[in-house]
Amino acid sequence: MTNAGGGPSVVVLDYGSGNVHSAAKALEAVGAHVTLTSDRQAAMDADGLVVPGVGAFKAVVDQLKAVHGAEIIDRRLAGGRPVLGICVGMQVLFEHGVEHGHDAEGLGEWPGTVERLESDVLPHMGWNTVDAPADSVLFDGVRDERFYFVHSYAAQRWELEPSGPFAAAKLTWADHGSRFLAAIENGPLSATQFHPEKSGQAGMRLLSNWVRSLPVLAA
């Protein structure tokens, strides 16, 4: 969607998560025309949708469903419209999340379960390197940089078999006691376990890479 600012339109889904404003400011800084809203039509019409997330898996799922976030994400992806999940906004895209022995249902865009990291030191808080594929769009120019993580849970396996119109997902891994998925690029659906908006210049470059990849629709 074209706009007066000239950049792609991005909606940061405002559903009660704690880091929506910092994500919105970071996206604006890399050239996106950002709207912070839970309005369904605005979220559907935007060139890109960002789903941030802070807190417990089940609470984030419940908050998203309260503003029809699950439906918005699903409908956008069905139409090939880009979505970016951040932190718990990545975790809830999986089928299940297990926290404190409780198995909560996720949004089910990807098969698999988000579980506690196998580390003596939790949460995993601070800067860490990642292992990104050479053809990654998100990590173009920042494959050797560090990114900022704050989490105790993560997806530690990739269970989706390639099928349909999209190529095999591009998977980025990191380590903290155990190996876990740090980022995923799967057709129109991308996500990062770390916080790009808190990751300095490397995070800004990653967000810029995503924004520049958005197919801009004419109004």
Query: Active-site residue numbers?
Result: 87, 195, 197
Contact between 77 and 188 (Cβ < 8 Å): yes
DSSP per residue over 72-140, as a string? HHHHHHHTT--EEEETHHHHTTEEEEEETTEEEE---SEEEEEEE---SS-SEEEEEE-B--TT-STTT
DSSP state of 188: T
Structure tokens at 196: 């790009």
Q: Tokens 């920042």 sit at which residue?
A: 142
Contact between 57 and 99 (Cβ < 8 Å): yes
CA distance 127 to 123: 12
* Total residues found in the chain within this entry: 219
Q: Vertex 23, ends 54 and 181: CA angle to 5°?
A: 55
